[in-house]
């Protein structure tokens, strides 16, 4: 038909360059937060617990806040430690903003970012946290990924957004939990302890649950 359009090759429609521009942003997609047992995205849209997302990466930074907004990022460089707080300046507490309790608030917050992807729609999210419980959740997930990649290099987790109890001196509080539902991608490798094992010894070893 005269109105049919036949595409013989992929045109340069500009989307690749647009995606490349976005790749260097600290926050990608909708901002994901956790507070009081509840996950939210964007402007307080509630996210149901158990929602599954693919974890695509992480980053760490000192983030400077002013008037309730982030104004500067000092990202951790690959393979290097985070700078010490004293290296950042702004140490005069008399110049710091005050919280609701009238106590000074450090403008620099030790922050973690986790990048996630909806496996169906491919919508992107960035989880941002500077709380102790949030950083602990990111650290626990990092440990799991490291262990998984010892036997399956390149594997990425599909996680469920959950919540966990966190005892504090102020009583029962909550913290975010990334519960791994399954591992995707990567390729399995023979565990190092079995490299020189006989077939019988290998058969007696625990099966790797991937």
Beta strand extents in 9-155 (DSSP E only)? 30-35, 38-41, 45-47, 52-66, 69-75, 108-117, 124-129
Classify the C-alpha dihedral 87-91-97-99 as positive or negative: positive
Query: Which burial class, exposed, middle or buried, applies to 128 when counting CB atoms under 10 A from its CB (0-12, 13-18, 19+)?
Result: buried
Q: Would you state the pLDDT for residue 86?
A: 94
Cβ atoms < 10 Å from Cβ of 155:
18
Query: CA–CA separation, 142 vs 165, rounded Å?
Result: 20
**Per-residue pLDDT tens digits of the chain, which is 210 residues long:** 555 555 455 668 888 877 777 777 899 999 999 999 999 999 889 999 999 999 999 999 999 999 999 999 999 999 999 999 999 999 999 999 998 889 999 999 999 999 999 999 999 999 999 999 999 999 999 999 999 999 999 999 999 999 998 777 667 889 999 999 999 988 766 555 545 554 444 433 333 343
Judge whether 162 and 143 are in contact, CB under 8 Å. no
CB 137 within 8 A of CB 177: yes
Nearest CA to 208 out of 196, 187, 132, 118 is that of 187
How many CB atoms within 10 Å of residue 74? Answer: 16
Stated pTM of the model: 0.79
Beta strands in the chain (DSSP E): 30-35, 38-41, 45-47, 52-66, 69-75, 108-117, 124-129, 156-168, 171-184
Question: What integer pLDDT is reported at residue 20 of this predicted model?
Answer: 76
């Amino acid at each position: 038909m005269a109105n049919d359009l036949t595409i013989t090759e992929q045109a340069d429609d500009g989307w690749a360059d647009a995606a490349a521009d976005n790749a260097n942003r600290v926050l990608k997609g909708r901002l994901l937060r956790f507070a009081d047992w509840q996950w939210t995205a964007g402007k307080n849209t509630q996210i149901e617990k158990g929602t599954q997302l693919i974890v695509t990466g992480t980053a760490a930074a000192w983030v400077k806040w002013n008037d309730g907004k982030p104004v500067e990022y000092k990202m951790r460089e690959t393979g290097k430690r985070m700078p010490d707080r004293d290296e950042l300046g702004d140490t005069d507490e008399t110049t710091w903003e005050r919280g609701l309790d009238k106590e000074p608030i450090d403008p620099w917050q030790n922050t973690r970012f986790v990048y996630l992807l909806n496996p169906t729609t491919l919508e992107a999210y960035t989880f941002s946290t500077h709380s102790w419980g949030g950083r602990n959740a990111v650290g626990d997930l990092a440990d799991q990924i490291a262990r998984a990649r010892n036997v399956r290099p390149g594997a990425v987790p599909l996680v469920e957004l959950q919540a966990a109890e966190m005892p504090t001196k102020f009583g029962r509080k909550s913290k975010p939990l990334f519960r791994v539902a399954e591992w995707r991608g990567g390729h399995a490798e023979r565990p190092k302890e079995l490299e020189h094992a006989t077939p019988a010894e290998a058969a007696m070893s625990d099966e790797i649950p991937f």
